Amino acid sequence: MGYCDSPYLYKRRKTREIVIGDPAHGGVIIGGNHPVVMQSMLTCDTMDTAECVRQTLELVAVGCQLVRITAPTVKDAANLQNIVRELRVQNCLVPIVADIHFKPEAAMEAVKWVEVVRVNPGNYADSKKFAIKEYSDEQYSAELKRIEEKFTPLVLEAKKLKRSIRIGTNHGSLSDRIMNRYGDTPLGMVESALEFARICRKHDFHDFKFPMKSSNPKVMIGCYRLLVARLQQEGPDWNYPIHLGVTEAGEGEDGRIKSAIGIGSLLCDGLGDTIRVSLTEDSPREIEVCRDLLAQIPILTNSGFIVQNSEFPFDPFHFEKRETPEIELADQVMCGGEQLIRVVVTRATWDKVAHKIRPKDDVKPEAVYEDLNIAEIDPTGDFEINCKTQLVTVKDGVKLPAITAFRLLAAKLKRLGRNNPILLKDCINFDECRTGFQPVSDSKENMETGKMPVLLEPKIALLRASVVIGSLLADGIGDAILVRGEPGAGQSLRLAYNILQAAGCRSFKTDYVACPSCGRTLFNLQTVTARIKTRTEHLKGVKIAIMGCIVNGPGEMADADFGYVGGAPGKINLYVGKQAIKFNIPEAEAVDRLVDLIKEHNKWVEPDGMEQKIPHPV
């Protein structure tokens, strides 16, 4: 069972076309050979018609092609009529997606007014109580029949009105029924979506697409790969489009890195027909990142060089780090085996940041590239490795994109019966990196040959490094990493550590799961997130979820240590894991109470005023 023809050759998955609205007048066609569609979501109250219109026009002005609006109640869904009417009066024809969760009756109202209705299988017909129950086959069949009775009216109405449906499975809101049969797994997410798809197909309705979202990029990648493989198993006419997104990615660099790892990895494998970068920021910023990310895919993928190898060097559906021996990377620094994935820097970077590093700092260079005993290999040809503890990497200048080259290196090592530790690089072909920055010679190969790498604009360097290194880490490949495309020495060091944290490989700072705002949000997410970070950002290894409402909150933050969740207007519920501990706390007190909760569970340490500030560009 595979999700793509080859892990070494880019070929976009061919999907059905879904026509949304009138493509000649602002609509879009999703799938087929059409470009990947960019979308985002409004952050305001759906009953505020004027603000919804204003935010929609603002999104369209920056290139958003689908706009999602939450409709938590029938009243909200009915107001979509007013929003759409005012948009059309202002000659804005962008298709609108209604976001539905708990109320089928709201979906039945929304489908009258908008081009797409998003339903979440985990809570459209089910309720989530984290209940443990064994279902017999007869009981499970009865539950499926109940779901069909709830969902079929929407399918028939969508077919009648020529609307589309987004079957939006979310890792944070799998139903108790799915959780009890499949567990909290990618398989559970896929089967949840397929149940609803079968109901659509039963009524000869095919205008639907699949998201498969998670806040964990590795989980998200595995889910989408498994979904595509299962669709292929079902038959050639199950080639429905898919929407890519890392939900609750957060803000700033962290949100962009998580999204680039998850979305970028799948785009590089040829998957994805629509995307959203979910940031805890103003929505128009999401579109800029979408556009920048899509622009990197032709550069980062191999669409011409034929690799005579179709063997996967990794399990695409279950994450497992590639087994390697433990070796000494540098003085008193080990890598490989069960060691942490190490951060390597160039000599030029070391010279600029070394004097700022203190002995107990977590963020610091762990080896210098030019000093390493490393075999630089061209994986497109034959090679021999006679020592199993030899550190290896891809040689600069190899005429392959980095993801392809490192996957091929891992595959050939496996064929040779070798499991040498691998140093990952964010780029190996500097000719593709010309963006106007002055070239800097900072690698062993370039110093010897006189070739000059050209460094990238910072926001592009971040995306490319995250896609390349993050994709390979999600494949289980890599024992050390080297970031060279970033122009700032301190920034490149920070970027390396942030990629490792986002990929779930190392924890050097507090980890935050923060959802983007929408009309369901019960507090100002950007302000509150900043307030919580100010109080807690020194808590290395602690994971805190900041969720605007309960839709995905308890499930999506199940692996977080603590959760701050909107429970009602002006009221906050606090969680430990997926268990609500404190209810209806006034928002003005909630951050202090969160700190108290962290202290009660012995996760608090007092800031000593000496926390390391991660180096910025020098």
What is the per-residue pLDDT for 286? Answer: 96
The CA distances from residue 410 to 49, 219, 371, 376, in Å, are: 54, 22, 23, 13
What is the per-residue pLDDT for 599? Answer: 95
What is the per-residue pLDDT for 132? Answer: 66
271-285: b or e for each residue (b if 16 or more CB lie within 10 Å)?
bbbbbbbbbbbebbb
3-state secondary structure of 422: strand
- DSSP H or E segment with residue 60: helix 49-61
Residue range 165-194: mean pLDDT, rounded: 88
Q: Is 71 exposed, middle or buried (0-12, 13-18, 19+ CB in 10 A)?
A: buried
What is the per-residue pLDDT for 305? Answer: 84
What is the per-residue pLDDT for 554? Answer: 59
What is the per-residue pLDDT for 136? Answer: 86
Q: Which residues contact 579 (CB under 8 A, 6 or more apart)?
A: none
Residue range 374-391: mean pLDDT, rounded: 94
pTM of the model: 0.91
Q: What tokens appear for 69 in the block? A: 């609006």
CATH topology of domain 511-600: Sulfite Reductase Hemoprotein; domain 1 (3.30.413)
Residue range 387-397: mean pLDDT, rounded: 95
Q: Helices 458-474 & 217-234, crossing angle to 10 degrees?
A: 60
186-215 pLDDT tens trace: 999 999 999 999 999 999 999 999 999 888
Which region holds residue 70: left if phi is over 0, alpha if psi is between -120 and 50, else beta? beta
Q: What tokens appear for 361 in the block? A: 């700092």
Mean pLDDT is lowest, of 327-336, 404-413, 553-562, for 553-562
What is the per-residue pLDDT for 128? Answer: 57
At 171, is the pLDDT very low, low, confident or very high (cuts 50, 70, 90)?
Answer: confident
The β-bridge relationship of strands 333-335 and 327-330 is antiparallel
d(CA 615, CA 364): 9
CB neighbourhood size of 198 (10 A): 12
Q: Which residues contact 279 (CB under 8 A, 6 or more apart)?
A: 249, 250, 251, 255, 256, 259, 285, 286, 289, 516
3-state secondary structure of 132: coil
Task: With beta carbons less than 8 A apart as the criterion, state whether 429 and 398 touch.
Answer: yes
Alpha-helix residue ranges (DSSP H) falling in 331-393: 347-353
d(CA 267, CA 274): 10
d(CA 77, CA 71): 5
Q: Tell me which residue of 38, 17, 28, 23 sits closest to 240, measured CA to CA.
A: 17
- DSSP H or E segment with residue 404: helix 402-415
The β-bridge relationship of strands 367-368 and 374-377 is unpaired
Identity (one letter) of the amino acid at 608? D
Q: Tell me which residue of 193, 195, 258 sits closest to 223, measured CA to CA.
A: 193
pLDDT above 70 for 505: yes
223-237 pLDDT tens trace: 999 999 999 999 999
Mean pLDDT is lowest, of 447-456, 468-477, 507-516, for 447-456
312-343 pLDDT tens trace: 899 999 999 999 999 999 998 999 999 999 99
Q: What tokens appear for 507 in the block? A: 């924890």
Which region holds residue 291: left if phi is over 0, alpha if psi is between -120 and 50, else beta? alpha
101-128 pLDDT tens trace: 889 999 999 999 999 999 998 888 766 5
Q: What tokens appear for 573 in the block? A: 């519920």
Strand order in the sheet with 571-576: 511-514, 543-547, 562-568, 571-576, 579-586
d(CA 113, CA 82): 9
Identify which has the larger pLDDT, 452 or 148: 148
End-to-end CA distance of the chain: 48
What is the per-residue pLDDT for 443? Answer: 44
Residue range 379-401: mean pLDDT, rounded: 94
Alpha-helix residue ranges (DSSP H) falling in 503-586: 525-536, 553-556
Task: With beta carbons less than 8 A apart as the criterion, state whether 174 and 191 touch.
Answer: no
> Phi, psi at residue 152, to the nearest 5°?
-55, -40
For domain 18-300, give the CATH number. Answer: 3.20.20.20
Mean pLDDT is lowest, of 64-68, 121-125, 268-272, 582-586, for 121-125
d(CA 575, CA 2): 39
What is the per-residue pLDDT for 429? Answer: 84
Q: Which residues contact 46 (CB under 8 A, 6 or more apart)?
A: 52, 69, 70, 71, 72, 76, 79, 80, 83, 519
What is the per-residue pLDDT for 338? Answer: 95
CB neighbourhood size of 94 (10 A): 22
What is the per-residue pLDDT for 438? Answer: 37
d(CA 283, CA 290): 11
Residue range 160-165: mean pLDDT, rounded: 97
d(CA 319, CA 289): 27
Q: What tokens appear for 459 in the block? A: 């926001």
Q: Which residues contact 534 (CB under 8 A, 6 or more apart)?
A: none
Q: Is 141 exposed, middle or buried (0-12, 13-18, 19+ CB in 10 A)?
A: exposed
At 441, is the pLDDT very low, low, confident or very high (cuts 50, 70, 90)?
Answer: very low
What is the per-residue pLDDT for 450? Answer: 39
What is the per-residue pLDDT for 449? Answer: 44
What is the per-residue pLDDT for 196? Answer: 96
SS3 of the chain: helix, strand, coil, percent, to 5: 40, 15, 45
Mean of all residue pLDDT scores within the chain:
90
Residue range 486-507: mean pLDDT, rounded: 94
The percent of residues above 70 in pLDDT, for the chain, comes to 92
Residue range 454-460: mean pLDDT, rounded: 82
pLDDT above 70 for 252: yes
d(CA 301, CA 293): 13
Residue range 144-168: mean pLDDT, rounded: 96
Residue range 75-104: mean pLDDT, rounded: 96
